[in-house]
Structure 1
């Protein structure tokens, strides 16, 4: 059986699944991509046994005399396959499996490759995900949810449970949570039509892939199960005349009990600072130039209608900056990490933000101002004012 599809589409699909290929495994088959003719297209699969990536690509299938419609497919080394497709001329590519052996034939224009592969039967199957909860979300909204929390994921492997994003779905509510113990980000959205309930801790790597792959005009079907999650990503508009590639990602989840993050969120506040997002972000960045040599410590002090930002460093010097603030409650002096403030200010899209505070050594909450202000918050742990 021959599989024929445009070089550009095939190249992009191979690059996509190739991100799941294992680079250090002792199992040779994990360095390969599995290609299986299926229905009206070609299914490409790669895995490192932590993540499985599949792309179903529209393609033309040509049956030769004696060919079987159901084939086990063929494998090819991911690196070689990708390099070949990147070097071929812009034309239709024909994939075939010569009789005998484990070869994949790749033809385009006057180029004809025969790539040595491994038996397709050795390739690990994609796990079945029996969902405890499932829902459909637009690609645009999913990307927004991920962006608002991913920056707060821990990079320190000493507490693996914090190196992922907790997804909680119940009723019609999806909540995404991430924390590295220095800051906590929570994003909540309503999704009518979902089923079941589940809590899943999705590795940051998988969330980064979703951020890259989700299409603003497409949809993502999410299935959360015990130990695994499945994401089916459909590109393009649902009513498009020509369907695009369908990408399926299955990932193992991080095991363990996620910390009780709700007890970290202050129940109330007695000081509230309302700030223009852009001006606040610029002022923090200016102060960070000095603060980076002093643990990124920036001190915020209210003086009437002004918010004063100061930072000091024995190696650089000092800085004092002022911006306008609308303040409720008494004056306060509190220090935060400049990088952590910038991380959240860089993803807030509203013109204004509020900083809710209690005491100098108690956490503060940064929220956007707008109709959906209660759907997002970031808790920032304070630093000692020196």
Structure 2
């Protein structure tokens, strides 16, 4: 194998596939990046058996040559050394040549590295996915849906299913739901489907966060294929496979209250900053709790008290406050996470009592919902 490639394209592809490579694998060859050169271009693959990423660098793009293939072939190179090396190469072009016994020479400018490669035949095959039911979604919408839900997954392995995001597809709508049993984030959106189909799967939160990092910020359509135990995301020159989590996701629809006793409308940023200030003294406590109460005339009080540190009290004027008087306590961190995930200048919060979950919506938008369980302090 021998080819010459533009360094910038190589660096970008290596960075993308590195997101799937881990040093903590029981399969030694997976600590490497597989490089395959064909007449069409160069394909790089990284995998940790949960996530697999394949990045393709075409021979030319927009009539500019990116790769010059001298001899097709394949090799697996140690990811850690190879990724550091390509970032630091001196010239705009890199030549990679595999000589006998998998000895690989990497040349750039006056620099030359020798790496001992591994046999590409021994690299595990990527999952073969039948592309029967494909659905499409704009990349920027997918990234927004991941951002607005994946933060709420559980970080505890005691219930592995909750470390993932529940994706449900029905009636040409995609629902993304995440919960760690103390809070819940939901986002839904219309999708394009060639043949209507229903799905109910759980994708690891970690996979979705890694996917979001490598997708470009544009509104190009991304294709999604779901099978029994894998999901495939297809973007331009990029394939991203993730395994699905096994097990049944809890029915979260029962958690969402359909009535309210107190309804409050607030400016999102004002409320976020007030909670942020109140949390400064709450952080010392174990659970980062702030208290929130109505005090009449549309005014709300946000307070926090840590006996050994001090207390903070702040009044905030609501856009509107309707219904019963309210005193409730909740995690400042959960509230700030929820507010950051909501797009919109104003939010509506629906309360059904001091110990019942409450729901936060952006005004005039029912595609996003955040739910938080209160903390007993009063």
TM surpasses 0.5: yes
The equivalences for 1:1-386 within 5 A come to: 1-59=1-59, 62=68, 71=73, 73-98=74-99, 100-130=100-130, 133-195=133-195, 196-217=197-218, 218-234=220-236, 246-294=237-285, 295-304=287-296, 305-325=298-318, 326-370=320-364, 373-386=365-378
CA deviation vs aligned residue, 1:78-130 (integer Å, no higher than 9, x gap): 111112212211321122222x2112222222223231111111000101123
Deviation of 1:58 after TM superposition, in Å, equals: 2.1
Partner residue of 1:241? none
Deviation at 1:131, TM superposition (A): 5.4
2:269 aligned counterpart, secondary structure: helix
Aligned with 2:37: secondary structure? strand
Return the offset for 1:132.
Answer: 7.1
Partner Cα distance (1:320, 1:197) in 2: 49
Residue 247 of structure 1: how far off its partner (Å):
1.6
Q: Where does the alignment leave 5 or more consecutive residues of structure 1 unmatched?
A: 235-245
Change (3 A) 1:39 1:171: farther
- Would the alpha carbon gap of residues 313 and 194 (structure 1) be closer, same or farther in structure 2, given more than 3 Å must change? farther
Separation of aligned partners in 1, 2:224 and 2:270: 38
Question: Where do 4+ consecutive residues of structure 1 move more than 3 Å?
Answer: 59-64, 130-133
Shift of 1:16: 1.5
SS at match of 1:374: coil
Moved more, 357-366 or 13-22: 13-22
| 1:259-308 Cα deviation digits (max 9, x unpaired) | 00000000211210000111111111111112223322211111221011
* Cα distance between partner residues in 2 of 1:114 and 1:311: 60
What RMSD, in angstroms, separates the aligned Cα atoms of the two structures?
1.7
Q: Output the CA distance in 2 between the equivalents of 1:168 and 1:4.
A: 45
Give TM-score, length-normalised by structure 2: 0.93
Give structure 2 stretches of 5+ with no counterpart.
Answer: 60-65
Using structure 1 for the length normalisation, give the TM-score: 0.91
How many residue pairs match? The answer is 367
Asked whether the equivalents of residues 335 and 385 of structure 1 are also in contact (C-alpha less than 8 Å), the reply is: yes
Equivalent residue of 1:13, what SS? helix
Check conservation: 1:4, 1:93, Cα contact below 8 A. yes
1:314-355: per-residue Cα shift (whole Å, max 9, x none)? 111222111111111121111111110000111222110011
Q: Which moved more, 1:152-161 or 1:88-97?
A: 88-97
* Contact in 1 for aligned 2:4/2:69 (Cα 8 Å): no
2:193 counterpart SS class: coil
User: Secondary structure of the equivalent of 2:293?
Assistant: strand
